[in-house]
Chain A
Amino acid sequence: MSSDTVLEVENLSVDIAVPAGTLHAVSNVNLQVDKGETLCIVGESGCGKSITSLAIMNLLPRKATLAADKLALEDRDLLSLSEAQFATLRGDRIGMIFQDPMTSLNPVFRIGDQLEEVYIQHGKGGRKEARERAEFLLEKVGIVAPTERLSQYPHQLSGGLRQRMMIAMTLMCDPALIIADEPTTALDVTMQAQTLNLLRSLQKEFKAGLILITHDLGVVARMADRVMVMYAGRAVETGSAEEVFDMPTHPYTQGLIDCIPVPGRTEPGSKLGSIRGIVPALVGDLDGCMFRNRCDLVSDACRSGDIGLIEISAGRAYRCHLSSDESKIKTSVEGAV
């Protein structure tokens, strides 16, 4: 583990006990985040992206069991920590930003008290230092008249402002890793770009690693240093943002990119690409490629056996039977038409 690595996860699996058996929510996920780097986890609902982040924070539901070869934050082995030890890490070394700031801020406490609490709770200093830190960070997130805002309640702020408060709160203890789960989904488009800009510049400034979880491919393309596409609990493609968006290799990634209308690329009114079928159930013994029922390039080889990640270059991999050239056949044929 290099000194720049903030988080390293090897072979993470999460199983959840359900009435019908065992649900394999996440299977053998590897990931690594460096200082100042943004990793985007992208996928549709139920693909395991949120469960992955909850597993890293040890916030999994009680029915879930976690297995991993390695789960390390900075130089700490997270697998050996007790819940009490974890509680001291969350909010301190790991910061979290959730989708809806209204439900993650306590409505009956003033904003200032909530920001200061994080600081004091983690033993960073007294109330005076906490207030100074809060005011400093509110200025950082572009809030005018921070003193005034700190004495307000969450309901007095707009959605965009609340999400900025959440960003400030996350930075109170100068975390090594920030996990943001759909941080701008509840915001207006104009606020989305501003909030993402802010998050990105602060993350670079504070040299924190960022895991950004989203279903929005536009956000991924603009924010990510590296991308992990998840499907049915597995990573199906990883690479830099340019690699994944310019040369998508897995048929699922290609399908996702074809699905969205893109100004300037898709002809208005034309038919959008689509992925047929629905996400498979992840209960019981899983065998073969999980995407095979929806894939246009399916063959007999896809139906059974374990399909591993094929590494093309460092950090660039995909999980498919086809060679990277073969899986591109579809796109090139379509491109010719």
Chain B
Amino acid sequence: MNQLMGQFSHPDSDAVPALECRNVGRTFMIKKGIFAEKQPLKAVQDVSLQVNRGEVLAIVGESGCGKTTLAKMLLGLLEPTTGEILLDGEPINSVSIKDIARKVQPVFQDPYSSLNPRKTIEQIISLPLKVHEIGSQASRRARVEEYMRLVGLPKRLIHSYPNQLSGGQRQRVAIARALIMEPKIIVCDEPTSALDVSVQAHILNLLQDLREELNLTYAFISHDLAVVEHLADWVAVMYLGRLIEFGKAVNIFNDPKHPYTRALLDSVLTPDASLGLPEITLGRGLPNPLTPPSGCYFHPRCPEASDQCSAEQPALIKNENRLIECHLYG
């Protein structure tokens, strides 16, 4: 596996990847009913991927595919049950949660619920500095003002409360709070899906600018594939906790190989009035992850499934310019 991944590292750098997952898995024990036995739910299984500094990794898939669980593990909020996560080549579980927070910071989906309504913008943005006991009150204030400028928030809002801000401004506050610890990696979980389209464009442009300016690495979780194509360098497609296709965004978008990736891309509704609605051949919804299907997890919905697909699970293999888990490319 790691040799497979190695072929994807940047050709012109020997640098360690900013972020690396090695066979990462997370199993939850779920109890259905008071007297029921606990059952294992494999939310994430055997995911291996890596991103270099300054690159954007997008994780895509339907709800329930494990992308948020993976994001929580990247943030150090959940421990993987198997495998390991490395930040700059250093295993994440060897450092304290505070040190993880200096390297990885989150931006969440809903800026209405991710900001404390009873704190001012200054208090919200400076909280990480306070927790880490960095600087005096005056120097913290200066730092907050600097980061407010960086994300395009007017200085006069420093004493405002979140409810006095628009959705776009709140998301800027969330970004400033994430950046103030000067992390190298930002985990964005659907950062624009709660915003209006005109505001979304502002935030996406801001994220692009910040990446260039600060050489940030993003792990970007989104279900909006148009946004993903616009931002991402690498795309990881997940299905029922498994990584089923991984490669350069341009390769995946120009030539999706896995039947699930193809279906996902077909479902994107571009604003083109001359086109009708696409016919999606995925018959039904996501199966219950407590009782995953036999063989390839995708076979009950796959239009190209064969007997082999229901019998044995395909392995993740390298195919041309990507990794893929499908018998069609075995």
Which of chain A's residues have a CB closer than 8 A to the CB of B274? 242
Measured in the bound complex, the distance between the Cα atoms of B278 and A196 in whole Å is 10
Of B15-23, B80-88, B155-163, B264-272, the one with at least 4 CB within 8 A of chain A: B264-272
Q: Given the known A-B contacts A44-B198, A260-B226, are A197 and B279 also in contact in the complex, defined by CB atoms under 8 Å?
A: yes
A269: interface (CB < 8 Å): yes
Tell me the residues in window 206-246 of chain B with beta carbons closer than 8 Å to chain A beta carbons: 208, 223-227, 229-231
Smallest Cβ-Cβ distance to A216: which chain B residue? B269
Q: What string of 1s and 0s marks CB contacts (under 8 Å) between B115-130 and chain A?
A: 0000000000000000
Chain A hits for B224, CB < 8 A: 189
Whether A222 pairs with B276 at a CB distance below 8 angstroms is yes
Question: Does A190 have its Cβ within 8 Å of any Cβ on chain B?
Answer: yes
**Which chain B residues lie closer than 8 Å to A285 at the CB level?**
none
Contact of B280 among A158, A161, A194, A271 (CB under 8 A): A194
Interface residues of A (CB under 8 A from B): 44-45, 158-161, 188-194, 196-197, 200, 215-224, 240-242, 244-246, 255-266, 268-275, 278
Chain B's closest residue to A245 (CB) is B273
Instruction: Give the distance in Å from the alpha carbon of A213 to the alpha carbon of B208 in the complex.
Output: 31
| Residue of A with least CB distance to B209 | A271
In the bound complex, do residue A263 and residue B268 qualify as a contact, i.e. CB atoms below 8 Å apart? yes
28 pairs from A and B in contact (CB 8 Å cutoff):
A158-B286, A159-B63, A160-B285, A190-B263, A190-B280, A192-B267, A193-B269, A215-B197, A221-B270, A221-B275, A222-B269, A222-B273, A241-B273, A245-B271, A246-B273, A255-B198, A256-B197, A256-B198, A260-B226, A265-B270, A268-B249, A270-B230, A271-B208, A272-B204, A272-B205, A273-B201, A275-B198, A278-B166
Q: Known contacts A158-B285, A193-B280, A246-B273; decide if A45 and B196 are in contact (CB<8 Å).
A: yes
The yes or no answer to B146 lying at the interface (CB within 8 A) is: no
Give the top 5 A-B pairs by smallest Cβ distance, nearest first: A218-B269, A261-B230, A241-B273, A259-B201, A44-B196
CA distance A192 to B62 in the complex (A): 11
The listed residue (A215, A221, A278) touching B269 by CB distance below 8 A is A221
User: How many pairs of A and B residues are in contact by the CB < 8 Å rule?
Assistant: 134
Residues of B within 8 A of A223 (CB): 277
Whether, in the assembled complex, B150 has its beta carbon less than 8 Å from a beta carbon of chain A, the answer is: no
Majority DSSP secondary structure for residues of A touching B: helix
B198 touches A263 (CB 8 A): no
User: Within residues 73 to 126 of chain B, which ones have a CB less than 8 A from any CB in chain A?
Assistant: none
Contact indicator A269/B269 (Cβ below 8 Å): no
Q: Give the complex CA separation of A264 and B270 in angstroms.
A: 9
Quick one: closest B residue to A197, CB to CB? B277
Judged by a CB distance under 8 angstroms, whether B38 is at the interface is no
* A262–B198 CA distance with the chains assembled, in angstroms: 14
A272: B residues at CB distance < 8 A? 201, 204-205, 230
The listed residue (A44, A190, A246, A270) touching B62 by CB distance below 8 A is A190
Residues of B within 8 A of A218 (CB): 226, 268-271
Contact of A271 among B205, B270, B275 (CB under 8 A): B205
Residue ID in chain A nearest B229 by CB atoms: A263
Query: Given the known A-B contacts A158-B286, A271-B205, are A188 and B223 also in contact in the complex, defined by CB atoms under 8 Å?
Result: yes
With both beta carbons as reference points, the residue of chain B lying nearest to A43 in the complex is identified as: B196
Residues in B with CB closer than 8 Å to A191 are 62, 285
